[in-house]
Chain A
Amino acid sequence: MVQTFEEKTLNSTSTNVQIENLVKKFGQTTAVHEANIDIRSGEFMTLLGPSGCGKTTILSMILGIIDATSGTISFNGEPINHIPMNKRDVGMVFQNYALFPHMTVSQNVAFGLDMRKVNKDEKKKRVQEALEMVQLDGYGDRFPRELSGGQQQRVALARALVIRPKVLLLDEPLSNLDAKLRKDMRIQLKRLHDELGITIIYVTHDQEEALSLSTKVAVMSKGFIQQIGSPQDIFLNPVNHFVANFVGYSNFFEGSLVEEKGDKFLFKSKDGLQFLVKKNGRHRIGDNVVLTIKPENLRIVDKEHPDMNELRGQVLVSDYVGSTTGYDVKTENGQILKVNVLGLEPYPIGKKVILHFNPDQMLILDKE
């Protein structure tokens, strides 16, 4: 069912979702602080963060299991806060699939259509289409317990999609699958999204999933949204320490920007190290910031003495994983930095090395 671009955008069930000042409190604890998220129709939006960050709470509010303490959720401009859960027309895939054990696959998929009183022939046709879409054609008469985890998950998908929902919600759907299945399912999900053009809201703690599947990502921590942006934005320009850490940066230096030097800032860390770093337009002299550099961007150079943007260090651990080698290097100021180099380089444990920090590849982050 490949649709043209026009067909996709004119798809009448394609919905945009606005979340405005959404707050959720449980007693004294605030699970979600004033969330503002704008999801355009057809977007694949992922809420990304560690457990307890509030991402699932937001999903639950969109689904309707819990009510917001304050704030609004709207579909195409219409607030849905007070619409009961069974009238919101959202499709949901639960983390543990929640397939009805006492019904066959077909009956499970048909359930939403039963509720909408779709006539028998139409129902049969749509169930068939849905099963084909997830490549489970022929499994209609099986029971959930006879299926593998991956198959159950696809049934859950089919069940959610067959009702042509306004929005598709997914709660960590891949976390119970093994690595290979996870990759396969990711590809399937992406394909489905491309074909159907449906608005998707996805919740996960796995940043690889988030970056590969989404058109937009909202990184959350402790109930606050840390950053919203495209996967590239998040990955290349993390805004603060938390986001950077979450997407795989290590090697952090706390300090402040003390001077301007042409198109660069001079950064001085808390323990006295100095680095030149490219300006980024967001920060100014005097800001307290965190500097970071990806392990892939740190270089080990053959020298006797360090220059500017270079540190002395000693190799602690070397971990050859096939295409790269990861080193833990203890620097002169006592920090342990992570360096990734291609292939296998001859830096044994104990070797004294010099690390080079490229000013253009260092990122300036807000302190979290």
Chain B
Amino acid sequence: MKHETSVNHTPAIKGVQRKKRMGFGRIAYSTINWLMIIAFLTVVLGMTLVVLFSAFGKEWYTTVLPQGFTLEWFIKAWNAYEIGTYYKVTLQIVVSATVISLILSIPTAYILARREFPYKNGLISFFQLPFTLPELVYAIPVASIFYSIGLAETIPGLIIVNLIIGVPFSVFLLILFTESLDPRLEWAAQSLGANKYKLFTRIIVPQLVPGITTATINIFIRMFSTFTIILLISGPKTQTLPVMVFSVLQGSGTQPPAMLNSLALTLMLPLLLFAFVSLWISSYTQKRLGK
């Protein structure tokens, strides 16, 4: 892969600051842009806050803020929807699927990065198809197949299905990371007598740790949020959290908003957590790689 730096800043001209001389056109342009930014951010923040307040609020009908705050609704929601169980189930499924995906993808990624195959580029693009094509087209047949062989609505079934989400993306990421490794380290190891297994375990995988971590987080998040396929083969007790939340929301007319928003909150928290973790990891890896 060519290393084409996309930003070719002349190191010489540093500290370029946008000098805005204030003409009328410029003031109008700035104002409009700032208004757009503020409007968008206000809406987004507002939405988040409302969900929070509603989940933790007491009575809230037409006033600006709820009458008071309480954990009641949240606890009720937790129990009524058996959120704890669903967290467990979701984690089970996603963690297993992630681990399996990684194991399956590492050898393939390595071999694709390090060897010339006929139609290599075609192969690599092929691996990208599952996450570039819209899921719907193959999700439905997958569901029908699973139902016919009895894998639907089971935990192993859900784990297997998640592989189609984890493996391609993991291969894609790992190819990128492997290509950036220096092959000379591997040649040196081989010249010193390492066999394939030792090469992998002592040279390649340790170097790939940042790549593996990135891949793990990525596919974990993807699996967690994946919807279509899981929705189709989930059973009453064998669902991931997002799918469960969706099913409840579908018939939402009958539930008090506080309950629903609490439910949504239980979904928000892990997502926010993942976001922070992946941000932290990526900045940590960048520092370690000396970027």
Contacts and interface: CB of A to CB of B under 8 A. Distances in A.
A56 B19 contact: no
Interface string B252-291: 0000000000000000000000000000000000000000
Interface residues of B, number: 11
B12 A65 contact: no
Interface residues of A, number: 18
Given A67-B19, A84-B21, A96 B10 contact: yes
Contact of B19 (A26, A31, A66): A66
Contacts of A328: none
A235 interface: no
Contacts of A84: 21
Contact of B13 (A56, A67, A85): A56
Contact of B11 (A26, A51, A85): A51
A74 interface: no
A311 interface: no
B225 to A, nearest CB: 38
A171 interface: yes
A260 interface: no
Contact of A96 (B8, B17, B19): B8
A171 B10 contact: yes
A65 B13 contact: yes
A26 B15 contact: yes
Contacts of B13: 56, 59-60, 65, 94-95, 171
A203 interface: yes
A206 interface: no
Interface string A196-232: 0000000100000000000000000000000000000
A114 B16 CA distance: 26
Interface centre among B8, B12, B14, B17 (most CB of A within 10 A): B12
A254 interface: no
Given A96-B8, A96-B10, A171-B10, A66 B21 contact: no
A56 B14 contact: yes
A172 interface: yes
Nearest to B8: A96
Contacts of A60: 13, 16
A66 B8 contact: no
Contacts of A59: 13
Contacts of A56: 12-14
Contacts of B11: 51
B15 A66 contact: yes
Nearest to A66: B17
A26 B8 CA distance: 22
The 3 A-B pairs at the shortest CB distance, nearest first, are namely A56-B12, A95-B10, A171-B12
9 contacts: A56-B12, A56-B14, A60-B16, A65-B16, A67-B19, A94-B10, A95-B10, A95-B12, A172-B12
Interface of A: 26, 31, 51, 56-57, 59-60, 65-67, 84-85, 94-96, 171-172, 203
Interface of B: 8, 10-17, 19, 21
Given A51-B11, A60-B16, 20 more contacts: A26-B15, A51-B12, A56-B12, A56-B13, A56-B14, A59-B13, A60-B13, A65-B16, A65-B19, A66-B15, A66-B16, A66-B19, A67-B19, A85-B19, A94-B13, A95-B10, A95-B12, A96-B10, A171-B13, A172-B12
